[in-house]
Amino acid sequence: MAQTNINIRMDENLKRDFDALCGDLGLTMTAAFNVFAKTMVRQQRIPFEISMDVPNTGTAAALQEVEEMKKNPSLGKSYTNVDQMMKELLS
């Protein structure tokens, strides 16, 4: 079967990270893209879910902290007065 070339533009850091991951998996980037293309053709769809970004580690930790504070209100401080809250936040 004849081979052809495809040019892909991507962020330099993404390329470096993708190349390293492929290497760790024993693949070249070309092999990884071919696996993706063959899977897409076979399944007639993008072979994974596309969704919004997952929260980063800091955001995930903050969300977890809020959930813990909801379960145990003594872990945090709550306010009924916005002015008092802003005064403490800005002090």
Within a domain: residue 77? Answer: yes
Spell out the residues 6+ positions from residue 19 whose beta carbon is closer than 8 angstroms to its own.
Answer: 29
Q: 31-62: per-residue pLDDT in tens?
A: 999 999 999 999 999 999 888 777 888 998 99
State the residue range of the domain holding 84.
57-90
Q: 10-37: per-residue pLDDT in tens?
A: 999 999 999 999 999 999 999 999 999 9
29-43 helix and 12-24 helix, angle to the nearest 10 degrees: 90
Within a domain: residue 17? Answer: no
Spell out the residues 6+ positions from residue 58 whose beta carbon is closer than 8 angstroms to its own.
Answer: none
Domains identified in the chain, total number: 1
Check residue 79 and give its pLDDT.
84
Check residue 73 and give its pLDDT.
76
